Structure 1
Amino acid sequence: MKVIQILLVFFILASCQKEKHPYTFYYWKTNLKLDQEEEKVLGEAPVPFLYTRFFDVDKAGGKFQPVAVITKDKSFRTGKQIVPTVFITNQTFLGISPEEISFLAKSIHELVEKKIREYDLKTNREIQIDCDWTSGTRNDYFKFLTELKRVSGKDITCTLRLHQVKDKKQTGIPPVEKVYLMCYSTSSPLEKSDRNSILDVSILKSYLSRLEDYPVKKIEVALPIYSWGIVTNHLGKHRLINALSEKDLNHPAFKKISAHEAEVLKDGFYFGSYLNRGFRIKVEEISEEQLDEVLSFLEKKIPDFTIIYYQLDSKFVSDRKF
């Protein structure tokens, strides 16, 4: 009886904990289109914004290139305001000149505005930049953020990775008033490890042990709800298959090794990829318990924050409680 009472208290506390933080989602596909489940879940989110990836930026042959610019399906509709989000590779800022910084900021602003007009999107006054900047690119990246704010007249925000918190003296503090802390990608999925590479809570806690000292005080929190399968071939090489779950391993051509790992018994196409006999598939998912533990930790560091779940996809939001 006592065990049941303790469990009830735990579940009540966990549900209260999530209700304290309003939430919404990232949208990270190249075609802006919602199925029935995605539309329903987004409509239930209390935050009035949808953080939408517009395009990526990379440098190839010495030239800046927009990559995978978003398109919009005619059926798309939402009452949320769109927050344009742009991912920029770190290499884009290697050896960049002041003139190129100005050109890049102007070009990104113009392409964002073009897509807003073209698709008649209702947006707020924010542009979010996602870049895994380093100590070697920090100065030029920060100049870019300042220039983008000047040319756009918008509120410029940016993502913040775990190592950029831990190593803030080396990576610097971005010139923004608000950052979005990415509480995932705690290690590389392509390294041989027993850890969950999407989210290992012990690693996250070690990286964020001094989060309360971070100079930018307005911190929102991005939490993972995605999953994938890590395929290992006979040579020990790894690759990813997106959106796999443990139930996908219940296949007659697979031999279950554990709840989250299986071996392929027969050559063939599985989940859109050709896999040979003997290949291994390890599924990484995020549990409610992991998310609750992260929230409990963060509340001691930054009590007030909004949650942005990555990402809005029926594969990831179905049967999950928000």
Structure 2
Amino acid sequence: MKKYILVSFVFFIAFFIFFEKSKENTNKTMSFYSWENSYKEKIEHEKMYIKILDIKYSTKLEIVKTNFIENPPKEFIPVIFITNKTLQKVDYKDLSKDILEILKTFDFSFDEIQIDCDWSDSSRSNFFLFLEDLKSNLNKTISATIRLHQIKYFSKTGVPPVDYGVLMYYNMSDLGDFETKNYVLDNDIAKKYHYNFDIYPLKLKIALPLYSQAVQFRDKKAINLFEAVDQEDFSINFEKIDENRYKVLNSHYFKGKYIYKDDILRFESVNEDDLKIALNDFLNLSKNRFDEIIFYTYKYKKRYNLKKLLNIQ
């Protein structure tokens, strides 16, 4: 009798764990970034994060508005990209004032806005003051993108004064280093930053990559970056010399740029197994999180079975 009760108890616990895991999986939702300078998509049923401003600084402040050829979804979240150099050169009050004025020129309304900036020690104070100023003037939900190193070393890098963060779980190594394995997503590199998630104060969403690219090297120095590259692009005029490296056999035009014989191209992409490992690592690490996964970007969504990846029925 005792044995029967014990077996029944073990079965109940196993069923309970399975049920909770299944419930957790079905609760996941997905959304997408749009990062084009011209928004042309007709999207109605997807949750979208759409870049609306591209802000940089060369010799002066430059703000480029996204051209909306099509109307965005009604409840999309606008994203503002700001380079670190901008925050190093422009006072937060001036930057906030300019952005607030430009936001008035858009035809859409919004309840939330996201700021994407990979701040540094030299720009942190200005950036955090900018976020506070923007928040007080807009009185809306504000999120900020977070990098892995800004969680591991958050006592040094600081925590942005926003409502929540979006962990950009990609681009975590050195793009220009010839020895880099895969700049887009390298789960072995990511594991080196799996610290302090249990005490990081911001609630997090995760952003995962769907894109591919190639980095061109000459004498082991990075000289060009090619976007929207596929494996099939290396079937002619290339020799595969490593898992994701290709040697140019004949000088020719590649994606509109001239590449020379003996140049090396490092092809970088992600597969569904890479994405699943990254997502599971994040889910196991972060308990203070949203069950929303943002994919970068929308235009590559058909390359993957994302519903299967998230176990969404």
- Scaled to the shorter chain, the TM-score interval is 0.7 to 0.9
Name which of 300, 304, 322 aligns with 2:284: 300
CA drift at 1:261: 2.6
CA contact (8 A) 1:234 1:278 kept: no
CA drift at 1:208: 2.6
CA drift at 1:18: 6.0
Name which of 225, 233, 240 aligns with 1:248: 233
* Distance change in 2, residues 1:194/1:237 (3 Å): closer
* Distance change in 2, residues 1:109/1:78 (3 Å): closer
Q: Give the alignment's TM-score, normalised by structure 1.
A: 0.81
Name which of 224, 234, 242 aligns with 2:209: 224
Quote the sequence identity (%).
29
Deviation track 1:106-162 (CA, whole Å, cap 9, x = no partner) reads 211221231x22xxx3x4311111111122221221111010011222222111111
Name which of 69, 77, 82 aligns with 2:76: 82
State the SS of the aligned residue for 1:94: helix
Name which of 238, 243, 255 aligns with 1:271: 255
Task: Show the counterpart of 2:61.
Answer: 64
* Distance change in 2, residues 1:79/1:152 (3 Å): closer
Name which of 31, 34, 50 aligns with 1:27: 34
CA distance in 1, matches of 2:220, 2:286: 44
Task: Show the counterpart of 2:119.
Answer: 133
CA distance in 2, matches of 1:147, 1:282: 42
CA distance in 1, matches of 2:122, 2:220: 34
- Which residue identity does 1:85 align to in structure 2? V
* Unmatched segments (≥5 aa) in structure 1: 1-13
Q: Give the alignment's TM-score, normalised by structure 2.
A: 0.83
Name which of 127, 136, 150 aligns with 2:136: 150
* Distance change in 2, residues 1:284/1:17 (3 Å): farther
After the TM superposition, which parts of structure 1 deviate over 3 Å for at least 4 consecutive aligned residues?
Answer: 14-20, 42-45, 77-80, 234-238
2:194 paired with 1:208: yes
Name which of 99, 103, 116 aligns with 1:108: 99
CA contact (8 A) 2:178 2:217 kept: no
CA contact (8 A) 1:190 1:239 kept: no
* Unmatched segments (≥5 aa) in structure 2: 1-20, 307-313
- Which residue identity does 1:108 align to in structure 2? I
Task: Show the counterpart of 2:10.
Answer: none
Calculate the aligned-residue CA RMSD, in Å.
2.3
State the SS of the aligned residue for 1:277: coil
2:179 paired with 1:172: no
CA contact (8 A) 1:249 1:261 kept: no
Task: Show the counterpart of 2:172.
Answer: 186
CA drift at 1:219: 0.7
CA contact (8 A) 1:269 1:275 kept: yes
State the SS of the aligned residue for 2:182: coil
CA distance in 1, matches of 2:227, 2:114: 24
Task: Report which of the two structures shows the higher radius of gyration computed on alpha carbons.
Answer: 2
State the SS of the aligned residue for 2:104: helix
CA contact (8 A) 2:174 2:180 kept: no
* Distance change in 2, residues 1:60/1:186 (3 Å): closer
CA drift at 1:85: 0.8
CA contact (8 A) 2:176 2:221 kept: no
CA contact (8 A) 1:85 1:128 kept: yes
Task: Show the counterpart of 1:261.
Answer: 245
State the SS of the aligned residue for 2:241: strand
CA distance in 1, matches of 2:132, 2:292: 24
Task: Show the counterpart of 2:6.
Answer: none
CA contact (8 A) 1:166 1:207 kept: yes
CA contact (8 A) 1:246 1:260 kept: no
CA distance in 2, matches of 1:146, 1:288: 38
- Which residue identity does 1:228 align to in structure 2? Q
